Amino acid sequence: MTKKELNNPQLVKEANEAALRLYTRRHFLRESAMGLGALALGSFLGSCGPGSADASQSGDVLNPMAPKMPPFAARARSVIYLHMAGAPSQLELFDYKPELMKLDGLDCPPSLLEGKRFAFIRGVPKMLGPQAVFKQRGESGAWVSEHLPHFATVADEVSFLKAVTTDQFNHAPAQLLMHTGTPRLGRPSIGSWVTYGLGTENQNLPGFVVLTSGGKFPDAGKSVWGSGFLPSVYQGVQCRSEGDPVLFISDPKGMDRDLRRASIEAINKANQLQYEEYKDPEILSRIAQYEMAFRMQIAVPEVMNINDEPAYIHEMYGTQPGKACFANNVLLARKLVEKGVRFVQLFDWGWDSHGTDANLAIDVGFINKCRQIDKAMTALLLDLKQRGLLEETLVIWGGEFGRTPMMENREGKQNPFKGRDHHVEAFTMWMAGGGIKKGATYGETDEIGYHAISGKTTPFDIQATILNQLGFDHEKFTYPYQGRPFRLTDVEGRVIKEIIA
C-alpha cells in the first residue's frame, strides 16, 4: 500500500480483512489437509463400518482394488447379473395364469384401475390372456413357457421369485432403484458396492465389468453402473464385444508400450506428490486407474477374445464372433468370472413390450427377444456348472418391473399390436448358483397375476440377498457420506432366506 493509503483507516481495515481471508483458506487447505486427508483415506480404504473389509489386509494400502475378505463366510465369489432392460413380461414366461385366458378381450374390471397409476393406460383397457403355452418343467414342476425351450431344461437349477414388487413405474427410476437402491441419481451401483467391499482377484482386469446389447443403453444410462459417492475406481468399466473391447485401449501411432509405461510413471509420480500434499483419496483412485489401464492393455484383449473358444462352446451359446450380441456377452461373462472378475453386469435392451409396433409387440418382438437370450443364458448355467464355477458364481436374471394383465391403450385407444403396460405390483426374477436353492419357487401372485399375495419381495431384498451370499450383512456394510453412514439398501431390505440353500 502507498503511504497515502496507509493513512486511510478504512483501506487498511479492508486490506487486513482480505489478507485474513486468504490466510484462512490457505491454512485450512494446507495445515488441515493431513488431518482431513487421514479421515478420508481411512474411509477410502474400507474402515468405515463393521461390515467393511480392510484394504490393508492385502499389504498394499495404495491399491484400493486389492482382494479383501468379507466379514463372514461367503457362498459366492463373483456375480453375473443379467438385466433385461425394458421389463420382460412375466405373464408370457414364468407366471402361468390360466384364469387370465378366460378374461381375454373383456373390459378390465374397475377394481384393477381405481386408485392405480400406470405409465400409459388411460380409460378402460381390454384384458389380455397369456400369449404363450406353458408346461411344468423338471422335477421341481416349475412353469416355463414355450418361448424359452432351452431354459426349460435347466429350470431345476434356479430359484424363482414370483412376487417381486417395486414402487417405480418408469424405466430410468426403476432401473436405478434396482441397481443403486434409490430411484434418484447419485448413489453407487451394486457392482460398485461389491468391488468396494471385496476388491478383485485379478489385478490385471477391472473388478466390475459392464456389457451391453440390444443396440441401446438402459434408460438410466451409465448411472446404473456408476460409483456414486464411492471413489471412482469402483465404477463399472464398460467393455464391448465388437471392435476394441475398451475404447482407446490400443496405443496410438508413434507410442510403443515402453513409452506408455514411462508416461504413466511420470503422471503417477506427479499424482503421488499431489496426494502427499493434499491427502485427497480420489488421487489414489486416479493412480490406480492409470495403473489398471496399462495392465488392461495386455489382459483385456486376451480375455475378451472369444474366437479361440472351441466349436462346441460357440454352438452351446449361439455366439456370433465379431458382432455385438447378447450371446457373445454371456460367454464373455463366463470368461471374466473365470479370470477372477468380481461383478459382471449385462444389460440387454429391447424388452419394453407396449404393442405400439411389431418390435414391441408381445406376440412378435417379444418372442424374438426370447429367442435371442434363451440359448445363451441356458448355456451360461450349464457351462458354469461343468467348470465347477456355478456354486461360487451367483447368477441373477430380471427386469426393472413387470407387465400388466390388461392390454395397453394409449390415450384411451387400443394399441395397434398386442402389448402390456408397465406393472409394479408383481413380476418374476430368478437366481441360481452361489448358494441359492435349486428348483425352488418363492412368492405367489393372484389368479390373474396382478397382485403379490404371498412371498412379496422388493429390490432391497434382492440387494440384501446378493450381499449376503457374498459375505456381507447389508445393514452393517456402509460408507460415510454427508455426515451419516449410507448403505446399498438404505433403511430397508431383508435377506430372502427362503431361497438360500
pLDDT digits (tens, 9 = 90+) for 356-380: 999 999 999 999 999 999 999 999 9
Which of helix, strand or coil describes residue 465?
A: helix
For range 124-128, the mean pLDDT: 97
Asked whether the predicted pLDDT for residue 54 surpasses 50, the reply is no
- What's the pLDDT score for residue 369? 98
How far apart are alpha carbons 479 and 332 in whole angstroms?
Answer: 31
**3-state secondary structure labels for all residues of 151-208:** HHHHHHHEEEEEEECCCCCCHHHHHHHHHHCCCCCCCCCHHHHHHHHHCCCCCCCCCE
pLDDT digits (tens, 9 = 90+) for 414-439: 899 999 999 999 999 999 999 999 99
How far apart are alpha carbons 270 and 409 in whole angstroms?
Answer: 60
Beta-carbon neighbour count of residue 215 at 10 Å?
9
For residue 295, give every residue at least 6 positions away whose Cβ sits within 8 Å of its Cβ, in sequence order, or none: 203, 204
- The number of angstroms, rounded, from the C-alpha of 277 to the middle of its chain's C-alpha atoms is 36
115 grid coordinates? 386408485
For range 455-483, the mean pLDDT: 97
For range 319-327, the mean pLDDT: 90
**Secondary structure letter of residue 146 according to DSSP:** T
pTM of the model: 0.82
Residue in this structure with the C-alpha cell 471413489, named with its chain if needed? 231
Residue in this structure with the C-alpha cell 513409452, named with its chain if needed? 259
CATH tag for 77-245+304-499 (out of 3.40.720.10, 3.30.70.260, 3.20.20.70, 3.40.50.10540): 3.40.720.10
For 338-352, b/e burial (b = at least 16 CB within 10 A) is bbbbbbbbbbbbbbb
How far apart are alpha carbons 281 and 274 in whole angstroms?
Answer: 11
Asked whether the predicted pLDDT for residue 468 surpasses 60, the reply is yes
Question: Mean pLDDT score of the chain, rounded to an integer?
Answer: 86
For 439-469, b/e burial (b = at least 16 CB within 10 A) is bbbbbbbbebbbebeebbbbbbbbbbbbbbb
- What's the pLDDT score for residue 60? 47
